[in-house]
């Protein structure tokens, strides 16, 4: 019910994902929000104001210099008469204008004039998203307090192009809007949480490393869900291609040892959720120089050594958080392995999932988990990773209040 009666100013800019904004309008309205649309000239190349206006059941604003619109509502009122400004899709162009304070059309002028919370759903070709200029602009905008949802990794509309740049799905955008507008109970206010996420990269030499398929989606979603319940979250992230969740303290690391150091430096905390897929082993002595291939020479052997066990270290630490949660990614005997892990690591819960390639969980957007505690096992249904995160955050809040 977070969206009931809420007024969303939806800015649609000129990307191919604009067609998804039609569904987004429908999803927002069926949850009770009103949607007032603004379209850039670019957006009108992809979808029509007629379709947008029909779905929004409102006038569509397109022109900064429209005499009627200025008299009627005016661009400054447009910018302020709403609970949230949502930009979906947000083009590289519009983000660049916003980061630099340009105001040469209605959308960019509204963005400069608004004092409302802003959520942007970027959508663009992966090369555009990865471009240093876009990276700089996104960093600037984050610093200005603008929140982001997505982009996601995957196939783009252009054939043969894949990577980070796909607009988040309408329901994920709706969930992000709800999180942004939720003034509800904050049961974790005043609690500090540490979350690890993503893989680790263990160097072989300066250019090669050992890694795994973890995308960081689940860990990042959990960090965001805990923050939405009011927790002060430190997210320690391995190398991932998804954006940092807004409003958290994010520490980027590469190796398991760096991750352990960052986690220990963040103690004391009330809650630790160790989601990262930390490499069990690293190369015993990584080479300072690139290992060269010489004809006729034997193939090098990699001697491995054990990495620190971060979950176990935290679970048995003198400053052990009240609640310690680990993840167990298994491909066989999921439950019995997770139970053994619960005891060995000193954890309160193990969230176990089957990451066999056929499940598509590792690197995917959905998850099917079992929650293993000293009280028993609870099987959760197949859920979006954001939904797993929301449920887990609620479980954490419920548990910590009883301790």
Ligand X SMILES: Cc1cc2nc3c(=O)[nH]c(=O)nc-3n(C[C@H](O)[C@H](O)[C@H](O)COP(=O)(O)O)c2cc1C
- Asked if residues 156 and 123 have their Cβ atoms less than 8 Å apart, the reply is no
Q: Is 309 annotated as contributing to ligand binding?
A: yes
The CB-of-52 to ligand X minimum distance in angstroms stands at 14
Q: Is 327 annotated as contributing to ligand binding?
A: yes
Q: Is 341 annotated as contributing to ligand binding?
A: yes
CA 139 to CA 155: how far, in whole Å?
A: 25
The CB-of-192 to ligand X minimum distance in angstroms stands at 38
SS3 state of residue 160: coil
Q: Of the two residues 151 and 216, which places its CB atom closer to ligand X in the complex?
A: 151
**Whether residue 212 lies in the annotated active site:** yes
Q: Of the two residues 127 and 213, which places its CB atom closer to ligand X in the complex?
A: 127
CA 227 to CA 179: how far, in whole Å?
A: 10
The CB-of-93 to ligand X minimum distance in angstroms stands at 4
CA 220 to CA 330: how far, in whole Å?
A: 20
Inter-CA distances, 24 with 12, 55, 73, 81, 165, Å: 11, 10, 24, 20, 18
Biggest alpha carbon–alpha carbon distance for the chain:
81
Residue of 212, 307, 353, 367 marked catalytic: 212
Rule CB under 6 A: which residues touch ligand X?
13-17, 40, 42-43, 91-94, 123-124, 128
- Asked if residues 196 and 252 have their Cβ atoms less than 8 Å apart, the reply is no
- Asked if residues 255 and 201 have their Cβ atoms less than 8 Å apart, the reply is yes
Q: Of the two residues 150 and 315, which places its CB atom closer to ligand X in the complex?
A: 150
The CB-of-12 to ligand X minimum distance in angstroms stands at 8
Q: Of the two residues 44 and 313, which places its CB atom closer to ligand X in the complex?
A: 44
Q: Is the dihedral of CA 316, 317, 323, 326 positive or negative?
A: negative
Q: Is 308 annotated as contributing to ligand binding?
A: yes
**Residues annotated in a binding site:** 280, 290, 308-311, 327, 341, 345
- Binding-site residues for CTP, please? 280, 290, 308-311, 327, 341, 345
Q: Which residues are identified as catalytic?
A: 212
């Amino acid at each position: 019910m977070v969206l009931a009666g809420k007024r969303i100013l939806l800015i649609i800019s000129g990307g191919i994902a604009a067609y998804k904004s039609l569904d987004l309008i429908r999803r927002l309205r069926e949850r009770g929000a009103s949607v007032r649309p603004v379209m850039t000239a670019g957006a009108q190349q992809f979808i029509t104001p007629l379709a947008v206006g029909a779905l929004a059941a409102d006038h569509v604003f397109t022109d900064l210099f429209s005499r009627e619109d200025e008299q009627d509502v005016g661009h400054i009122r447009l910018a302020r008469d709403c609970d949230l400004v949502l930009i979906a899709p947000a083009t590289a162009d519009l983000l660049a204008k916003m980061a630099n304070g340009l105001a040469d059309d209605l959308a960019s002028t509204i963005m400069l004039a608004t004092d409302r919370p802003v959520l942007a759903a970027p959508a663009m070709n992966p090369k555009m998203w990865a471009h240093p200029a876009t990276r700089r602009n996104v960093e600037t905008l984050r610093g200005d307090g603008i929140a982001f949802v997505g982009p996601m990794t995957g196939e783009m509309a252009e054939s043969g192009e894949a990577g980070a740049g796909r607009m988040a799905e309408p329901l994920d955008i709706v969930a992000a809007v709800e999180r942004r507008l939720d003034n509800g109970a904050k049961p974790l206010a005043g609690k500090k949480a540490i979350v690890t996420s993503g893989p680790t990269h263990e160097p072989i030499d300066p250019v090669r490393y050992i890694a795994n398929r973890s995308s960081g989606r689940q860990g990042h979603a959990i960090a965001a869900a805990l923050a939405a319940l009011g927790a002060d979250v430190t997210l320690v992230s391995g190398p991932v291609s998804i954006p940092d969740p807004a409003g958290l303290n994010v520490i980027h690391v590469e190796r398991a040892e760096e991750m352990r150091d960052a986690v220990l430096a963040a103690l004391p905390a009330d809650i630790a959720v160790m989601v990262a897929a930390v490499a069990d082993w690293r190369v015993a002595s990584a080479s300072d120089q690139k290992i060269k291939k010489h004809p006729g020479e034997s193939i090098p052997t990699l001697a491995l050594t054990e990495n620190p066990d971060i979950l176990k270290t935290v679970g048995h630490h003198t400053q052990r958080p009240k609640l310690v949660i680990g993840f167990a990614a298994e491909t066989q005997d999921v439950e019995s392995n997770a139970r053994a892990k619960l005891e060995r690591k000193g954890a309160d819960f193990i969230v176990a999932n089957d990451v066999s390639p056929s499940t598509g969980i590792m690197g995917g957007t959905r998850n099917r988990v079992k929650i293993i505690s000293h009280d028993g096992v609870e099987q959760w249904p197949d859920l979006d990773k954001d939904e797993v995160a929301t449920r887990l955050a609620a479980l954490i809040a419920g548990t910590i209040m009883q301790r």
